[in-house]
Amino acid sequence: MNDFIEILTAPFIFPFMQKAIIAAIVTGAVCAVLSCFLVLKGWSLMGDAISHAVLPGIILAFVAGIPLSIGAFISGIFCAFATGYLKDNSRIKEDTVMGIVFSGMFAVGLVLFAKIDTDQHLTHILFGNILGITDAEFSQTLWIAGITIAIILLKRKDFMLYCFDPNQAKVIGLPVKLLHYGLLSLLALTIVASLQAVGIILVIAMLISPGIIAFILCRSFGWMLVVAVIASVTSSVIGTVVSFYIDGATGPCIVITQAIYFVIALIYSKILLARKKAKSHQQALNAA
C-alpha cells in the first residue's frame, strides 16, 4: 500500500510536475465546461475547425515578435467569422464551409512553418508540452481559463437556451448574434489556453470527450456540467502522471484516458438501459 501511495505522490515532488498538474486541472476544467455547450449545440466540427485554424496565427505572431496566444486567438476568431460569413452568403452548408476553412488555414500554417526559420518545435505546437510549460505560459493559461469559465458561468442560462433552442432565445429577446459570436470567442480562448497542454490536434478531444461522457450519464444540464468537469480534470491529472512515468507525450496520454472514460461510461449506460428494459418487461409480466 505504501508503495502505491509513493507512486502516486512521487511526481509532485518536482516543481515542474506541480506546475504541470495545476495547468492540467485548469485546462481540463475550462474544456469540460465549454464541451457541454458544444455538445448541446452540435458544434463538434467547429471546435475542430478553430483548433486547426490557429496555426497560421501562431507562426505569424512568432515572426511579428508578439505573444503566440494573441496570434492564435486572432486566427481562431477569423476562422469563426469567415465560416459564419460564408454560411450566410452562400448556399454551402455550415459543415462543408468549416471543412474548407479549417483545412485551408491549417495548410497555410504548415506552409508558413516550413518556410520560416524558427526555434519552435512543430511537435510541441501540434501535440503540446505541458511538462515543459514556462512561467509565462502557465500564468497565461490560468488567466485565460479563469476569464473564460467566469463568463460562461455568468451567462450560463443564456448560452444554454441559445444552444438548445436559438429560436426560443430570439423570441424572448436574447441577443442571439452576440451569444453566437461570444460562444465562438470563448471557444477560441479555450483553445489558446489548452494549446500548451495538448496542442492543436488533440485539443478537439478535450473539447468534446468530457461533454459526451456527461451527456451519456446525465439527464440534466447542471449534472452534465459537474460530471464533465470531474471526468476532464481527473483524466487530465491521470494522463499527466502517466506521461511522467512512461516518458511519453502528455497530450495523447490525457486523450487516451478520456477515451477509456468514454468506453466505461458507454458500457455503464448500456447496462442501465438493459436493466430498465428487463424491469419493465418483468412488470408487464406481473401485470398480465
Q: Which residue has the higher pLDDT, 83 or 196?
A: 83
Question: Is residue 264 over pLDDT 90?
Answer: yes
Question: Is residue 111 over pLDDT 70?
Answer: yes
What is the CATH topology of the domain spanning 1-208? ABC transporter involved in vitamin B12 uptake, BtuC (1.10.3470)
pLDDT at 263 (0 to 100): 93
Question: Is residue 120 over pLDDT 60?
Answer: no
In this structure, of 100-114, 204-218, 224-238, the range with the lowest mean pLDDT score is 100-114
Please tell me the pTM assigned to this model: 0.82
What is the pLDDT averaged over residues 125-132?
Answer: 71
DSSP code, position 238: H
Tens digit of each residue's pLDDT (9 = 90 or more) over 231-256: 999 998 888 888 888 877 777 888 88
- 67 phi and psi, to 5 degrees? -55, 135
Domain boundaries, the chain: 1-208
DSSP of 122-175 = HHHHHH--GGG--HHHHHHHHHHHHHHHHHHHHTHHHHHHHHH-HHHHHHTT--
pLDDT at 228 (0 to 100): 92
Rounded to 5°, angle at Cα 226 from 36 and 39: 10
In the chain, where do the E strands start and end? none
pLDDT at 230 (0 to 100): 92
pLDDT at 22 (0 to 100): 85
pLDDT at 281 (0 to 100): 67
- Report the mean per-residue pLDDT for the chain: 80
For cell 453566437, name the residue. Answer: 180
pLDDT confidence band for 282 (50 / 70 / 90) = confident
